[in-house]
Amino acid sequence: MFARHAASLIVLRTGPLEHEVLMGLRGAGHRFMPNRLVFPGGAVDPGDATGPAATEPREDVLAALGRAARPRLARALVAAAARELEEETGLTLGGPPRLDVIDYLCRAVTPPSRPMRFNARFLVVDASATEGEIAGSGELEGVRFYPLGEALALDLALVTREVLERLQGWLALPHPMRRARPSTDVFKKRRWRLE
């Protein structure tokens, strides 16, 4: 089965003791990952490639996404992450959104054995770039910021845990190195590889 292109946005803030990430619980009625704590995100829509934006994605982000996506799709992935953030949490990156504040972390592909598959890109934005108040949309319940240690202590889906661990490594890098990484981590068939 074909894996749909998707984007998740990790909203990151500095808490009193450690970094915190915005997450919410997918309801029991969802076909994909029901009752699981996840980041805001979803499948790319056709309009994401050309929708309005206050600023376009940075060249380093488009280049990194471009290792496994054509330019039109790379832009659509960043726009989808911003759109899903607003739809699922009430927070925005402005209206229209500023896409240049988004970084690219990693990619994960749902195993072929699963009935629903996604080729998901995990992107990161600092909470200081967001506007609005957190408000549940019905897609995610109990949306709030989780300290990284607290989140990792929960019963997470494997891919969510793996992405949070990759995030910890990314946070340990100096800012210039985050943007200059020569390859991207990809979680596929339950292991990490580089692209």
Give 177-190 pLDDT, tens digit per residue: 999 999 999 999 88
- The residues near 97 (Cβ < 8 Å, ≥ 6 apart) are 53, 54, 79, 82, 83, 86
What's the mean pLDDT when you consider all of the chain? 93
Q: Which comes out higher in pLDDT, residue 155 or 116?
A: 155
Q: Which comes out higher in pLDDT, residue 145 or 189?
A: 145
Which of 31-35, 90-94, 161-165 bottoms out in mean pLDDT, i.e. has the lowest? 31-35
Give pLDDT tens digits for 84-132. Answer: 999 999 999 999 999 999 999 999 999 888 878 899 999 999 999 999 9
pTM (2 decimals)?
Answer: 0.94
Report whether the peptide linkage leading into residue 96 is cis, meaning its omega lies within 30 degrees of zero.
yes
Q: Which CATH number fits domain 4-194: 3.90.79.10, 3.40.50.880, 2.60.40.10, 3.40.50.261?
A: 3.90.79.10
Q: Which pairing describes strands 118-126 and 103-109: parallel, antiparallel, or unpaired?
A: antiparallel
- The residues near 150 (Cβ < 8 Å, ≥ 6 apart) are none
